[in-house]
């Protein structure tokens, strides 16, 4: 998008406001919340309008300590072919640890974060989910468990199929007390 330079005493029109001032980087798409069960499904959040998305998970509380995973989906199916790795810097040391990953094979979902009874959150950037090409992601979160052996986490990976995904499925390995996910698109112009 071009940048308009305004001069002194120039009128700021509604068209200028809508075009230049409201051209924020992130555009709200949708939000979903789960307060029971183990999954949160959000459909129709990925489209050809955006190539990259930011998903904010907030007020994530589970019945106990457990991982939260994410799958990409179409309206009828989820794919396999997920590769990921997770690094963690424990609170009681400055040394990063390779704490998990899909290993030599592919998994059925991406590792996103750890939840517990105390509130936690994460951000996830997803690249190319609705394009007929490989999809990538990166996520960051804190580990809410105490004791020092856990800490800040960084996860990233790829989904190797050429499926044009339209939604996502978050799955927790413990009962969800609350999980809210807000999806934004990165504006392209």
Residue pLDDT, tens place only, 77-97 = 777 899 999 888 888 877 777
The mean per-residue pLDDT over the stretch 93-122 comes to: 85
Residue 63 lies in a domain: yes
* Cα of 79 vs its chain's centroid, Å: 17
The mean per-residue pLDDT over the stretch 48-54 comes to: 97
Residue 46 lies in a domain: yes
CA dist 69 to 23, 170, 180, Å?
32, 6, 14
The mean per-residue pLDDT over the stretch 62-83 comes to: 89
pLDDT above 70: residue 21? no
Q: How confident is the model at residue 58 (pLDDT cuts 50, 70, 90)?
A: very high
Residue 82 lies in a domain: yes
Q: Find the range with the poorest average confidence among 18-22, 31-35, 58-62, 88-92.
A: 18-22
Residue 10 lies in a domain: no
Q: What is the pLDDT of residue 133?
A: 97
For the entire predicted model, the pTM comes to 0.86
Residues 44-57 as b or e (16 or more Cβ within 10 Å = b):
ebbeeebeebbbeb
The total domain count for the chain is: 1
**Whole-angstrom distance, CA of residue 52 vs CA of residue 56:** 14
Q: What is the pLDDT of residue 93?
A: 79
- For 136-183, the pLDDT digits (tens) are 999 999 988 877 678 889 999 999 999 999 999 999 999 999 999 999
Q: How confident is the model at residue 16 (pLDDT cuts 50, 70, 90)?
A: low
Residue 3 lies in a domain: no
Residue 157 lies in a domain: yes
Reduced to 3 states (helix: H, G, I; strand: E, B; else coil), residue 47 is coil
In the chain, the percentage of residues whose pLDDT exceeds 70 is: 90
**Whole-angstrom distance, CA of residue 106 vs CA of residue 147:** 31
Residue 53 lies in a domain: yes
pLDDT above 80: residue 14? no
Residue 57 lies in a domain: yes
Token pair for 45: 């959040």
pLDDT above 80: residue 23? no
pLDDT above 90: residue 110? yes
Average pLDDT, the chain: 89
Domain that holds residue 99: 28-186
């Amino acid at each position: 998008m071009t940048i308009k330079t305004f001069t002194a005493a120039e009128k700021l029109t509604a068209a200028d406001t809508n075009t230049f001032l409201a051209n924020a980087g992130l555009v709200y798409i949708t939000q979903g919340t789960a307060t029971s069960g183990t999954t949160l499904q959000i459909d129709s959040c990925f489209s050809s309008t955006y190539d990259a998305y930011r998903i904010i998970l907030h007020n994530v509380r589970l019945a106990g300590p457990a991982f939260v995973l994410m799958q990409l989906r179409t309206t009828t199916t989820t794919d396999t072919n997920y590769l990921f790795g997770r690094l963690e810097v424990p609170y009681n040391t400055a040394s990063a640890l390779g704490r998990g990953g899909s290993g030599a094979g592919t998994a059925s979902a991406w590792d996103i974060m750890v939840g517990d009874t105390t509130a936690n959150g994460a951000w996830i950037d997803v690249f190319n989910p609705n394009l007929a090409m490989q999809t990538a992601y990166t996520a960051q979160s804190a580990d809410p468990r105490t004791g020092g052996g856990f800490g800040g986490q960084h996860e990233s990976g790829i989904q190797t199929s050429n499926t044009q995904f339209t939604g996502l499925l978050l799955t927790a390995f413990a009962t969800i007390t609350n999980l809210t996910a807000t999806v934004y698109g990165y504006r392209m112009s």
